[in-house]
Amino acid sequence: MSARYPQPAGSAVDELRDIKAKAATKSETESEAS
């Protein structure tokens, strides 16, 4: 995994991925509500 994605901080990558996932979930919820 780290060989394919040689970022310096794996935790930062996971955090960014989590933020993107939360943003996607939020936008989906907002579009459903409207």
Per-residue pLDDT at 34: 59
DSSP states of the chain: -TTTS--S-HHHHHHHHHHHHHHHHHHHHHHHH-
Amino acid letter, 22: K
Per-residue pLDDT at 12: 81
For the chain, what is the domain count?
Answer: 1
pTM beyond cutoff 0.75: no
Residue-wise pLDDT tens digits, 3-32: 666 656 677 888 888 899 999 888 877 777
Contacts of 27 (CB under 8 A, 6+ apart): none
